[in-house]
Amino acid sequence: MRPVTEFILNMSAGNSGDVLPVMESFYTIQGEGYHSGRPAFFIRLGGCDIGCVWCDVKESWSSTGHPMKSCEEIVAEALQEPSRFVVITGGEPALYDLTRLTRLLHEKVFEIAVETSGAYPLTGEWDWICVSPKKFKAPLQENLEKAHELKVVINHTSDFDWAEKNAAAVLKHCKLFLQPEYDKFEKHIPPIIDYVKLHPEWSISLQTHRFYTVMYNRNSY
Ligand code: SF4
């Protein structure tokens, strides 16, 4: 896990949210969760202290070493693509004040989704909030109550209890997803299928982008 001090320092440096560390941004297809299959412009912000052992973007943990981009630059890049659907992810995007970025995106009529662990207070204007709670740093109740989507990664049998604990804290309209940890897909998908059949309030989320990249030997799509 990255030292927490790095992130505290980063935040205490007074990041107003006018300029943000963008690890990468790219136009692709949302691969997982409720919006799976939709073309979207992804903005991945650097910085995360959650430390999930199965994290597939560990390069995003550091909050430093990424290009610092103004909100105007980020929006201008998003406008180059035909879709007006943006996904802000990380890292942990809630480490930053996203008020300005989301306001500028809304001014350009973007629909804006965020993927967050829910562990930090969330700023900004959102059309879709996906909370993916992590045992390593539990989500805030205020974020669970804002969630449109709860997406729980199943990496261990005990994660079903973790999923239910968080599901009990979201509001009724929130969509519920169980997602097998990709590297243990074959182990976890059978019990997930059985579980969802018994608990139909849940649906299965697959990281379809990862299957695609393996099938076609590409880094991304
Ligand atoms: Fe990786 Fe997301 Fe976990 Fe952070 S919260 S360690 S970015 S999976």
Tell me the pLDDT of the chain (221 aa) as tens digits.
Answer: 445 545 444 553 457 899 999 999 999 999 999 999 999 999 999 999 999 998 989 999 999 999 999 999 999 999 999 999 999 999 999 999 999 999 999 999 999 999 999 999 999 999 999 999 999 899 999 999 999 999 999 999 999 999 999 999 999 999 999 999 998 889 999 999 999 999 999 999 998 887 767 666 666 66
Which atom of ligand 1 is least distant from the CA of 136? 3
Query: At 177, which amino acid appears?
Result: F
Mutate to test the pocket of ligand 1, among 50, 53, 58 (most ligand atoms within 8 A of CB): 50
Which atom of ligand 1 is least distant from the CA of 91? 7
Q: What pLDDT score was predicted for residue 220? A: 63
Which atom of ligand 1 is least distant from the CA of 153? 8
Contacts of 26 (CB under 8 A, 6+ apart): 41, 42, 220
Query: At 105, which amino acid appears?
Result: L
Which tokens in the block code for residue 35?
Answer: 């919006």
Q: How far is the CA of 91 from the centre of ligand 1 (A)?
A: 6
Q: What pLDDT score was predicted for residue 197? A: 98
Contacts of 32 (CB under 8 A, 6+ apart): 151, 179, 205, 206, 207, 208, 209
How far apart CA 101 and CA 95 sit, in angstroms, is 14
Tokens 């943000």 belong to which residue? 20
Do 122 and 99 meet the contact criterion of CB atoms below 8 Å apart? no
Is there an atom of ligand 1 within 6 Å of 55 CB? yes
Q: How far is the CA of 102 from the centre of ligand 1 (A)?
A: 21
Contacts of 6 (CB under 8 A, 6+ apart): 49, 62, 63, 64
Q: Residue count of the chain, please give it.
A: 221
Q: What pLDDT score was predicted for residue 2? A: 47
Q: How far is the CA of 66 from the centre of ligand 1 (A)?
A: 17
pTM of the model: 0.92
Do 49 and 137 meet the contact criterion of CB atoms below 8 Å apart? yes
Q: What pLDDT score was predicted for residue 16? A: 86
Residue 157 CB neighbours (<10 A): 9
Which tokens in the block code for residue 93?
Answer: 């995007």
